[in-house]
A and B are shown apart, each in its own frame.
Chain A
Amino acid sequence: MEEQRQDYLWDGTGEPDPETARLEQALSQFRSKRPLRPLPERKRAGWRLTIAVLAPVAAVAAMLLMVIYQPDAVRRLLQPRGDWQVVAIAGSPRVEGAAESRALGPGQVLTTDGSSQAEIRVGRMGRVQVMPNSRVRLTETRDGRHRISLEQGGITVRMWAPPFDFVVDTASASAYDIGCAYTMHVDKRGAGSLSVTSGWVEVELDYAQVMVPAGATTELLPSYAPMTPYFDDAEPALKDALRRLEFGAGDPVSRAAALQDLLVAARHRHDAYTLILLMRKLDRQERALVLDRAAELLPLPPGVTRQGILDNDQLMSSLWAQRLGLGEAKRWWVNWRDMF
């Protein structure tokens, strides 16, 4: 009898014992029932397609201009790939402890003290300014994948590169460049912030990601998903409430208070972006509250329903946020001079 039960448990053959059968019958009510909702558009696929079509045209146009006006630039452009060039802006930045070194290779660390700053030239892709008291490691550089690790301190990144080719890792999250400029600060634990000045940056920890547009900031804390971005002119009370909501203890009372404060402090039209993104992290009841406030700031567009938003329909959320006119990722081909 015992053997028969084990076989049934293993592959469904034989007769189940009554208790197992009863359990299966009772638990069957929890089975998956819902069909897949309509899939959202793929932003990345769209970008890659755009890049695939426009990159050759842009590259040829840029080359022609450079051949005529910037012959030295063409030479630099054609330099063989390898270690990244390091330029001292102030003081004596060090690569692997050596102040005289001017190249950063895979696995090597660039450090600055309180009085030094450096600029890393990432081949033809862009530049990274390293602020005082920082530590940056080059972890990987090869076609389509260039990663640095910001272990401590601050950097300002200006990239001219296909989206997602350049990545900055920290102890708390990774920042994927989408043709943009941004500033990032972290402490040794990875706590800090990322502020975008041009284009977009995707900040990600495992499955959790936020898209940060120009003029907005996301805050980082180890072991937490990147905080929902807020615009830099948002009310201080909104920023504080977000911190309590997403990085706080999470008990129901303080959570409800934080959410209430957040809704009161959301006053600008573009604060709706924060609210729309935040809804993904909330339960249905909380979503309903946030939806009402966000819809006051930014009315739902045609085709986007309250029910769809409550159901966490990502396509509808995206269409709603697009009403703010934040635009797609920066037209990176316009900024070809960033290469130099």
Chain B
Amino acid sequence: MEATETKAGAEREVLLVKEARGGNRSAFSELYAQYARMVHGILLARVPHTEVEDLVQEVFFRAWQQLGKLRDPATFCAWLAAIARNRANDYYRRRRDTEEISETMAIANGTASAAEARAALAAIQALPDTYRETLTLRLVEGLTGPEIAAATGLTHESVRVNLHRGMKLLRERLSGSANVVKEGT
């Protein structure tokens, strides 16, 4: 039953991509609704959160313009994820220095809970590549493990391992930073 639903979902997605490729904006909007969280998560794992919303729009505009180049509609998800990663990598390469400053200022200026959230996000962003994207998609965007596997192309087992080890590492780092804060206050 689950396999049937998955197959039907994949077929519908291919149909949407073909429609969008032909210029159907409603179809593309459906694809946006389906993948905005994934793109947002991929970007948020890599770039300052204040820039992510703009970059999400850029990624989808880019996908809209370039959809004609996508040979196999069934690979839309991986193709879109690649555009998002490329966009994030380029942004980070160019803006690293200034954004580090703005992030620090943002934490300092926010409320206590906002600061905690930003500290948690910063800790995720500082994790190794293997874990930060998976954890962002799970903890921020609310995707389940199977959804993350579908979005990233990783196996279920790899995602499960990344979630488990990533969480462990995140806890350790947050615990460490909390101690630093306590010692400093």
Contacts and interface: CB of A to CB of B under 8 A. Distances in A.
Nearest to B56: A32
Nearest to B167: A9
Nearest to B166: A9
B76 interface: no
A32 B40 CA distance: 6
Contacts of B138: 9
Contacts of A28: 140, 142
Contact of B28 (A10, A20, A39, A225): A39
Contacts of B146: 11
A36 B32 contact: yes
B140 A34 contact: no
Interface residues of B, number: 55
A27 B97 contact: no
Given A32-B36, A32-B141, A250-B97, A26 B117 contact: yes
Given A10-B160, A36-B36, A250-B94, A26 B113 contact: yes
B139 A12 contact: no
A24 B139 contact: yes
A20 B121 CA distance: 13
A250 B163 CA distance: 35
A48 B21 CA distance: 13
Interface in A244-263: 250-252, 255
B120 A26 contact: yes
Contact of B25 (A39, A207, A208): A39
B86 A45 contact: no
Interface in A47-73: 48
Interface string A7-33: 001111000000110011011111111
B53 A283 contact: no
B97 A251 contact: yes
B179 to A, nearest CB: 15
Nearest to A38: B25
Nearest to B101: A252
B108 interface: no
A252 B96 CA distance: 10
B173 interface: no
A42 interface: yes
B51 interface: yes
Contacts of A29: 114, 117
A143 interface: no
Contacts of B98: 252, 255, 283
Interface string B79-118: 0000100110010001111100100000000000110110
Given A26-B120, A32-B37, A252-B97, A48 B68 contact: yes
B29 A27 contact: no
Counting from the closest, the 5 A-B pairs by CB-CB distance are A32-B40, A26-B117, A10-B145, A36-B32, A207-B86
10 contacts: A27-B140, A32-B56, A34-B57, A36-B32, A36-B57, A44-B65, A250-B97, A281-B94, A283-B98, A314-B58
